[in-house]
Amino acid sequence: MALLIKGGEIVTAESRSRGDIFIEDETITRIGLDLTAPPGTEVIDATGKLVFPGFIDPHVHIHLPFMATFAKDTHATASKAALIGGTTTFIEMCCPSRNEDALDGYNTWKHKAEGNSACDYAFHMAVTCFDSKTEAHLREIVRDGTASFKVFLAYKNFFAVNDEELFHTLRLAAELGVITTAHCENAELVSQLQQLLLAEGKTGPEWHEPSRPEAVEAEGTSRFATFLEQTGATGYVVHLSCAPALRAAVEARLRGVKIHIESVLPHFLLDKSYAERLGVEGMKHVMSPPLRDKRNLPALWSALQAGLIDTVGTDHCPFDIEQKLLGTNNFTQIPNGIPGIEDRVNLMYTFGVKRGVLDIHRLVDALSTRPAKLFGLFPRKGTIAVGADADLVVYDPTYRGTISAAGQASNNDYNGFEGFAIEGRPSHVTVRGKVQVRDGVFVGEPGRGRMIRRQPQYSAQNVTEEVATHAG
Ligand SMILES: [Zn+2]
């Protein structure tokens, strides 16, 4: 089956030009002007539209047992939401609990996804404890094509690793050449501050942010950087939310630490006043790190434009209203998270590109190309080139609409961006050459998605040599 996408404005991280894209089976085989196609080829007229490489969400949660409940999406609902929003590959956090074997957890997550996702996917393997069996399990998981780890410095007694476990995880990561992603908040400080606030009768969602202040995230970020420096490992800070943490990460990068930065959709558009709303309206906006004072937003946008923030993910993590209400009398019991997989591209396009604060090529880079490069998916994913997978987004910049929970594909009864106006949306989306979204509607094959196996790509270079190279 052949497909021709005709007359669109092809936009990648580096270039922009009008042209046609010809696809045979799953792969882009020709790019050029006025291409002709054999009879029987399906033609999509992209005149007046932008054509982007399929977007990649480097940070999502789909199957997730968390805080005595489960996130609401299945791989079927989340992948449909992803595709409608222009995301053709996501990387899911595989998060077993501390007392579960890493390999058992990994197999559970793989089994949940297999045959159920409509888009392609990969995993980051969370290391939630490091005992005598962990190393062998992690080696096997990396051999299976999952070439990135995740550590939590937050969530005491649940997901958090201690400094000893962090050290051993990073040593192994450096040896294997895999990148380690990290949730950077100081677990002990959060736990102590939560207890102090609760003892003072401060129980509402407005106390979530004060229980994990900016300094606590900056400490976690800087500690992670120090551990990277001492082990020679390559790291990636997930969902960085504020200027002090940004400063800590950038300062580490300037001294030669191999550290990359992700921020996520909510932190570019929402601030802590959303979590200060009364009752369940506030609870809908409880996530960690928390929404911050709005003075942080311009710093994040300019760091994104400058490329200091490498990528934009979502930390998609849907809990519904009934689940949020579990924390009615105690903010520490509110399941943390907000959905976003369906809205990331449209909101970043509208509030970044259309508002003139984000270059369109940087948008493609941060939401597709750089996640592909950092996580070993490039050049198969993350660009439009002959030989690449035909994951394409035909984007209509004339579309006007409003974000709403009504009619969203993600399995949740609210949307944290309710009422936000959008100025553009994907009209057609392909996954390896198959049209999965047409005129904004999912028309695809539910289980088409495949797990993309990745190779380790970070050689265990001596850290002092690396620093010397930077200095010289
Ligand atoms: Zn997350």
184 Cα to the center of ligand 1, angstroms: 11
What's 392's DSSP letter? Answer: E
Chain center to CA of 171:
25
CA of 66 to the centre of ligand 1 (A): 11
Residues 228, 126: Cα–Cα separation, whole Å: 17
pLDDT at 465: 47
Half-sphere CA count of 352, side-chain side, radius 13 A: 28
How many whole angstroms from 93 Cα to the centroid of ligand 1?
Answer: 7
Q: How far is the CA of 95 from the centre of ligand 1 (A)?
A: 9
Burial 126-139, CB ≥16 within 10 A → b, else e: bbbbbeeebbebbe
Neighbours of 291 (CB within 10 A): 25
Quick check: 429 and 392 in contact, CB under 8 A? yes
What are the start-end ranges of the E strands in 54-139? 55-60, 65-66, 69-70, 87-94, 120-126
391 Cα: distance to centroid of ligand 1 (angstroms): 25
Helix (H, G, I), strand (E, B) or coil at 164: helix
Question: For the segment 104-147, what is each residue's pLDDT rounded down to a tens digit?
Answer: 999 999 999 999 999 999 999 999 999 999 999 999 999 999 99
Question: 382, 343, 427, 431: which is closest to 119 by C-alpha?
Answer: 431
Distance 400 CA to ligand 1 centre (A): 30
Report the phi/psi class of residue 48: left, alpha or beta, with left for phi > 0 and alpha for psi in -120 to 50.
left
**What separation in Å is there between the alpha carbon of 355 and the centre of ligand 1?**
28
Residues 460-465 have a mean pLDDT of: 49
Distance 313 CA to ligand 1 centre (A): 9
- What is the DSSP code (8-state) at residue 347? H
Look at residue 408 and give its three-state secondary structure.
Answer: coil
Mean pLDDT of the region 251-266: 98
pTM of the model: 0.96
pLDDT band at 461 (very low <50, low <70, confident <90, very high): low
* 157: confidence class by pLDDT, cuts 50, 70, 90: confident
Q: What is the 341 CA–ligand 1 centroid distance (Å)?
A: 12
- Kindly list the distances between the CA atom of residue 464 and the CA atoms of 222, 224, 254, 469, in Å, as whole numbers in the listed order: 19, 18, 14, 9
Dihedrals phi, psi of 256, to nearest 5 degrees: 100, 0
Contact between 368 and 52 (Cβ < 8 Å): yes
Rounded CA gap, 94 and 77, in Å? Answer: 18
Q: Does residue 244 have a pLDDT over 90?
A: yes
Tell me the CA–centroid distance for residue 42 and ligand 1, in Å: 39
Residue 243 has pLDDT above 90, yes or no: yes
pLDDT, residue 1, reads 78
Q: How far is the CA of 255 from the centre of ligand 1 (A)?
A: 27
Beta bridge partners of 10: 17, 51
CB contact set of 442 (below 8 Å; sequence gap of 6+): 80, 83, 84, 118, 409, 436
- Work out the angle at residue 361's Cα, subtended by the Cα atoms of residues 360 and 366, and round it to the nearest 5 degrees: 100
Cα 241 to ligand 1 centroid, rounded to whole Å: 13
Q: Is the pLDDT of residue 98 over 80?
A: yes
Distance CA(57)–CA(391), nearest Å, equals 13
For residue 216, the CA-to-ligand 1 centroid distance in Å is 17
Residues with CB under 5 A from ligand 1 (ion): 315
**How far, in Å, from the CA of 202 to the mean position of ligand 1?**
26
Distance between Cα 148 and ligand 1 center (Å)? 14
Cα 280 to ligand 1 centre (Å): 21
Distance from Cα 7 to the centre of ligand 1, integer Å: 38
Do 68 and 389 form a contact (C-beta atoms < 8 A)?
Answer: no
- Residue 295 above 70 pLDDT? yes
Per-residue model confidence as pLDDT tens digits over 410-430: 999 999 999 999 999 999 999
* Residue 364 CA, ligand 1 centroid: distance in Å: 22
Q: How far is the CA of 59 from the centre of ligand 1 (A)?
A: 6
List the Cα angle 449/455/457 in 5-degree steps.
130
Determine the pLDDT at residue 460.
Answer: 64
User: Which residues fall within 8 angstroms of residue 248, CB to CB, at 6 or more apart?
Assistant: 218, 221, 222, 225
Q: 291 CA to middle of ligand 1, Å?
A: 14
Cα 58 to ligand 1 centre (Å):
10
The rounded Å distance from CA 315 to ligand 1 centre is: 5
Give residue 61 CA to ligand 1 midpoint distance, Å: 6
Average pLDDT of the chain? 96
